[in-house]
Amino acid sequence: MKKVTTLFIVLLSICTSLFAQTKPTYCDSIVAEIVATVSGTKVSFTVKTTGSIIAQSWSFGDGTSSTDLSTTHDYTRVGTFEPCITLKFKDIRNANAYCSKKICKSVTTTGTDPCADFNPKGNITMGTDGIAIFEASSSSSSSNTYTYLWNFGDNTTSTDRVGKHTYKAGTYKPCVTITSSNPKCTKTLCFEITKAGEDPCANFNPTADITVDANGLATFKGMSGTGYTNSWDFGDGTSATTVDGTHQYKPGSYKPCVTITYTSGTTKCTKTLCKEITVTEKDPCADFNPRFEYKIGENGLVTFYGGGNTTTNYTYTWSYGDGTSGTGGQSTHTYKPGTYKPCVTVYDAITKCKKTVCLEITITGTNTDPCKDFNPTFSYKIDGNVIVFEAQSGTNYTYKWQFSNSQTSTDRVVKIDFKKPGTYKGCVTITDPKTKCTKTICKEIVIKGRETEDPCKDFNPKVSFQTDGLRLKVDVDGGKGSTMEWSWGDGTKGSNDRTATHTYTKSGKYTICVTVYDAKRKCKKTICFTIEVQGKTQDPCADFKPDWSYTLSGNTITVEGSNITGAEYVWSWGDKLGDKGRVNSHTFKVAGKYTICLTIYDPKTKCTKTICKTISVGGQKLIEQDKDGKEALMVFPNPADTKISIVTQSESAAKISIKDVFGTELIRYDATPNSDKSIDMYIDALPRGTYYLNLEQDGKIESTKFVK
């Protein structure tokens, strides 16, 4: 009897446990499956389910997606993929709720890979003249054309199949992406190439100074100009990153240092300068109050005088206020029109007193270039493989020669042995210290080899050029009776003149080519060379700094952009909607945090600026959704320039992949969102075009596209 009672208690306990379990939900009862029909690389998808579908979203497993329920997708290649669909069902037990279910299925496409035999070749080699020669395979079929994209590894690109590229000294990893049209296949080949050269920082000798007055107030000045940064350590536990300024010391001995860094492209030079200073309780130079005078002459020429101090123990160091300097009790300097703050540092060798005095001067007049008539040149004579170069002479002119065999010189007359026949280039930079004018002149010289029966053996025209800001002047020497055809490297072609000029619209590097043709002897030669021009004017949009303001009333925002006559205004509200016009208002359906952007375009100046601000609307946290109720991935600004912000729906770690329109992955980036659930990502290395962005986070993959 006891055993029966025990068994009854056990059975009662089991039954109680079963009835206590949670009742299955309606979502648990829904059955769904994917039906896939494979035909080559194309797969047709349908969904069978017992539920009532109200929304759906496909992820095909190859980085693409769709919101159609039944769809056909072309994978374009043979392989195994795992497509998934996320379904949203109506909950028949609760009218205010819905069910969500994700199902996946593995599919394998069939057929022959059309790109299996696509194996183009490419090569890039460094020449003895320091110029790299690149070449890629050409198509053997007129119905299947190839396109090329070279990335030279130094932030420059080319779409030519074959050509030349000039590198600075260093090691690079250039790549070429070759794409065929029929079938559409892509392959990327990469190489490593090294150009030897002198230490780019060998002549990097920046200057800086720091002086302290009787009250312990230090005045410091570093290097100014494009590419320079200054990091000051004042030796008392404080620091600064400005070019110049003041710093207050307490009495004592200190060793302030400044680390000056110059960055230009891939070149980065750094040097640290230190100075020992002592701040005493009593300043022995309290009565040391030198001054200076100046006289403004014609064409911006200013003469500075050391304030009438005739004692020989004074030395003067001038800072002209435009990034240049000089020395001497009397000094002259030529300015362009504008307002400047010249300073002189006066040092008394007897009392050891030093003081810097500054004044503000204004130069009026026209923008006449004081160096417009500064056009020196050089000549040369060939004797076998030896060439004697002679630069134009001038009072106190300085010379800096650079030859294509890597030899250099600072003499006016230079004798160079090139060892063997060939084509060489010689350049000289001539500077007039008095006017501060500088000009660089380059010429191409041909040393002939042994005589041959070639009718064109003596057909060796040469090109010389001069640059002046954005203006280029070229001249062909040789090829008498020939015709010329110029290509300026910016998409335009020049005249047929032997001497020609061209003005570029913006600063940069350009490859210039001229084809010289002698119709009588049927001799033809194309000469190409690369130059770099730098405009003398600032960015016309540097001062284009519009803004916008706003007021909030509940979930409604009223915005107003800067009032610019004739400008165009485009608003993005951060909720997939937008408007046009300088003044606008918008009501958000859901409270939360929105990133609102205004893009202003001024047709008069061709300047464009996008200003974004993150605004909190209401007090409830927002989860942004698209039209089907799915959480949305947002990228702004779009179009972008150098940086994008990716707005996610979670603070979890994310994996980001950016691909081009051919499906080639260009950037992979792992990051964790900040407190605003956004990720900042720089895209300045990407060329202009359309890109697809995939974000993997919390086991989900979202996709969108943007334009650069």
**395 and 508 inside one domain:** yes
Q: Residue 458 is which amino acid?
A: D
Instruction: Please report, for the domain that includes residue 554, its CATH number.
Output: 2.60.40.10
Q: How far apart are CA 182 and CA 118, in angstroms?
A: 11
Contacts (Cβ under 8 Å, ≥6 apart) of 16 = none
- Boundary of a domain, candidates 63, 80, 108: 108
Quick one: CA dihedral 355, 359, 363, 367, positive or negative?
Answer: positive
**30 and 74 inside one domain:** yes
Task: Give the pLDDT mean for 515-520.
Answer: 85
SS3 610: strand
**167 and 298 inside one domain:** no
**383 and 529 inside one domain:** yes
Residues forming beta bridges with residue 485, ordered by sequence position: 515
Q: Is the pLDDT of residue 12 over 70?
A: no
Q: Is the pLDDT of residue 261 over 60?
A: yes
In a domain, 347, yes or no: yes
The pairing of beta strand 548-553 with beta strand 556-561: antiparallel
In a domain, 486, yes or no: yes
Q: Is the pLDDT of residue 252 over 60?
A: yes
The pairing of beta strand 193-195 with beta strand 228-233: unpaired
pLDDT at position 629 is 42
Radius of gyration of the chain (CA): 36
**674 and 697 inside one domain:** yes
Q: Is the pLDDT of residue 630 over 70?
A: no
Which range is most confident: 14-23, 176-185, 616-625? 176-185
**304 and 323 inside one domain:** yes
In a domain, 656, yes or no: yes
In a domain, 311, yes or no: yes
Residue 299 gets which letter from DSSP?
A: G
Q: How far apart are CA 703 and CA 57, in angstroms?
A: 12
What mean pLDDT, rounded, does the chain reach?
Answer: 84
**595 and 513 inside one domain:** no
**What does the DSSP assignment read for 132-146?**
EEEEE---SBTTB-E
Q: Total structural domains in the chain?
A: 7
Residues forming beta bridges with residue 599, ordered by sequence position: 570, 610
pLDDT digit string (tens) for 527-574? 888 888 887 656 678 788 899 999 988 889 999 999 999 999 999 988
Whole-number Cα distances in Å, 449 to 8, 131, 171, 611 = 115, 22, 33, 63
**134 and 233 inside one domain:** no
CB atoms within 10 A of CB 378: 21
Strand arrangement of the beta sheet that strand 186-190 belongs to: 157-158, 146-151, 175-180, 186-190
pLDDT at position 426 is 92
Picking from 390, 381, 473, the residue whose alpha carbon sits closest to that of residue 428 is 390
**643 and 498 inside one domain:** no
**398 and 545 inside one domain:** no
Lowest mean pLDDT among 52-56, 112-116, 535-539: 535-539
Tokens of 517: 């043709």
In a domain, 561, yes or no: yes
pLDDT at position 15 is 45
Q: Is the pLDDT of residue 320 over 50?
A: yes
pLDDT digit string (tens) for 418-463? 888 988 999 999 998 888 888 889 998 998 865 555 678 778 888 8
pLDDT digit string (tens) for 547-558? 999 998 888 999
Q: Is the pLDDT of residue 91 over 60?
A: yes
Q: How far apart are CA 92 and CA 319, in angstroms?
A: 83
**236 and 162 inside one domain:** no
CB 13 within 8 A of CB 6: no
Q: To 5 degrees, how large is the angle CA 520–CA 522–CA 523?
A: 115
In a domain, 6, yes or no: no
Tokens of 177: 């992406």
**527 and 546 inside one domain:** no
In a domain, 618, yes or no: no
Which residue range is the domain that position 659 belongs to? Answer: 623-708
pLDDT at position 643 is 84
Task: Give the pLDDT mean for 22-40.
Answer: 82
- Boundary of a domain, candidates 51, 76, 108: 108
In a domain, 600, yes or no: yes
Q: How far apart are CA 448 and CA 383, in angstroms?
A: 11
Name the band, by pLDDT with cuts 50, 70 and 90, for residue 230: very high
Q: How far apart are CA 316 and CA 333, in angstroms?
A: 14
pTM: predicted TM-score of the whole model, two decimal places: 0.23
Instruction: Please report, for the domain that includes residue 628, its CATH number.
Output: 2.60.40.3080
User: Cis bond leading into 376, ω under 30°?
Assistant: no
SS3 434: coil
Residues forming beta bridges with residue 560, ordered by sequence position: 549, 583
